[in-house]
Each structure stands twice: as C-alpha cells, then as structure tokens.
Chain A
Amino acid sequence: MSVNQLPGDNLSDKILITNVLNGSPSAFGQIIHHTEGLVTQILFKMIPNAEDRKDIAQDVYLKAFHSLGGFKFQSRLSTWIARIAYNACLSWLEKKKLVFPGDEDVLSERGPEAGNVLTIDTSHGEWKSIFLQKELAIILQLEINKLSPVYRTLITLYHQEDLSYDEIGQITGLPDGTVKNYLFRARKKLKESLLAQYKKEEL
C-alpha cells in the first residue's frame, strides 16, 4: 500500500472536501500534504526545469481548489489531483514541443503479456557485482531519466507508487492495454540501456 492509499481514504477525502467547501483553508492544506507525494513524482518525471515544476505544482493545486466542488468521488482524491497534474504537465510539454511516447519507437506487435519475460538476461548477482549498490541507484536513476517523460512517469507510478493499471489509466487517460504496452516498452528500454551500461563497465 503506497503513501497515497491510506485506509479510509474516501471518508477522509469527503470530510476534507466538505471542510474546504465550507471555507476552511487548513483542510485544503491537509489535502495538499496527503497528495503532494504523487503530484511531486509526476512533476519530477515530466518537467525537467525546477522553476517550471514550482509554477505547475501551484497551478495544479489552485485548479484543484477551484474545481473541488465538481469532484464526483468516482476515484480517490489523490488520483483526481494526480490527473490534473499529469494533464498540466502534458500541456506544458506540448507547449514546449518536447518528446511524447511513440515518437521514439514504433508500436510493437507483441502484446505486453507475451513480452513480459525479456530475452536479454544477466543474473542479478553479476549486475550487483559490477555496479556497487550506491552506483546502481545513480545509474538506474540516470537511465530512467533518459526515458521519455510519459514512460518514466508510468514506470514510477507502477513500480514506486504501487498504483494499479486502472489507477494509472485514470491519471493518464490511457486505456489499460495501452498502459500495459507502454510499461512493457519502458521496461524493455530501461533494461536494454542498463545492459549496454553493464557491457561498458565490463570492458
């Protein structure tokens, strides 16, 4: 269970939203504290510039505040705010004409289930001996950062935030199948680039 999936989330969401709508700004502060982790992950994965991240983060929460009355409880509040953040990032990327998924590689005909076991393989013991633990975290972070903004967001939401395909779909507006497919391709690219790095270190 991730930080943004606290038990009784829906009930506390309802109470907090009611308090905000009744004019309590501190309740909105609590909403920010509850959802900030997920929003931060999305912003860091999609927006390279710190100043832009700061502006977008504020815009996201101001927009959430003004639209809170229209929240229909069809998802968790954190998912709804994450969707606002994701859309704000996409608009920013579109404005800056930066890379989108699918620009880099053509859709593979292999389904995600068929391709989940990747063919490139090296035992994890070998990997560990080549990359020291501390180095590995840095290399892994660098290689994740080389992925397209949407791919690295999906990898993070799935593997670090433990969100389901359905929740990722709600945030990104992508169908489950596309989420699975993008995740498969993102993992494949990540593994290939790590392997290339591993071979470089071995030489």
Chain B
Amino acid sequence: MNDDFFSETELWLFAEIKALRKPAFDFDLASLVLEQLPQPKPESARNEALVYCLVFAAFGSLGIPVYLYHEYVAKMFAQALPAAMDLAIGTTILILLFLGIEMYRTYKRRMNALNY
C-alpha cells in the first residue's frame, strides 16, 4: 500500500480495521466436512486381488494351450490365408476401438458427475 496517497487519519483508520477481531465459526468446520466426505471402500483390497486373479486366469487359459500345442498354433498361422488373417486382425482392432471409446465416455461421465 502506498502510504503517500493516504492522510494520517486514513492510515489510522486502516490500522483500526486491521486490529478488528476476526470472525470465527462456533462449530468445528473441519470435522463437519470430513464426516460428509466419501469414505474409502473397505472391499477395495479384495477387489484388487480379484482383478489380479482374473488377469492371471486369462493369461493362463491363453498361455497354457499355446504352450502345449505350440507346433499346431505355429502351423495354423503359417498356413492361414492372408485374407483371413487380415479379417481377424481388423475385427479385433475394431472391437478394441469400440471398447476403448466406451470406457472413455464412461470415465468422462463419471468425472462430470463428481465435479457437480
């Protein structure tokens, strides 16, 4: 604040304003707010373990047959028609794309709901 602009009385008035008692709530705002916050879900650890199990099962169900029948799998890819391969790859990409877009839209919708 540039003191030159103000008269002595005004500076004294500003000092008096500064010295005024600051207001305070007669309740504990922090505890009132904290009890309204969403509580962390206790089952989240169990959910995490379930996700790991599912991922492991998915890799296992795919990996074990491939390991056991790797000779046949290699032949299957080597002897398949290029057009059939292109079709399979194209379909997979399309499905993944569709799933990705759907996941992103769900994520955006949930974030908007949080930022009410």
Q: Which residues of A contact B (CB under 8 A)?
A: 23, 25-26, 28-29, 32-33, 36-37, 40-41, 44, 53-54, 57-58, 61-63, 65-67, 70, 113, 116-118, 121-124, 127, 136-137, 140-141, 144, 155-156, 159-160, 187, 190-191, 194
Q: Tell me the complex Cα distance, A124–B9, Å.
A: 5
Q: Which residues of B contact A (CB under 8 A)?
A: 5-10, 12-14, 16-25, 27, 29-34, 36-37, 40, 114-116
Structural contact, A29 and B34, CB atoms closer than 8 A:
yes
Q: Which residue of A lies closest to B13 (CB)?
A: A191
Q: Which residue of A lies closest to B33 (CB)?
A: A61
CB-CB under 8 A for A32 and B29, given A63-B116, A67-B115, A140-B16: yes
Q: Tell me the complex Cα distance, A113–B1, Å.
A: 12
Structural contact, A66 and B116, CB atoms closer than 8 A:
yes
Residues of chain B within 8 A (CB-CB) of A123 are 8-9
15 A-B pairs besides A25-B37, A160-B22 with CB distance below 8 A are: A33-B30, A37-B22, A40-B22, A44-B23, A58-B29, A62-B36, A65-B37, A116-B5, A117-B10, A118-B10, A124-B8, A127-B9, A141-B20, A159-B18, A160-B20
Residues of chain A within 8 A (CB-CB) of B32 are 58
Q: Which residue of B lies closest to A65 (CB)?
A: B37
Chain A proximity of B84: nearest CB distance (Å):
46
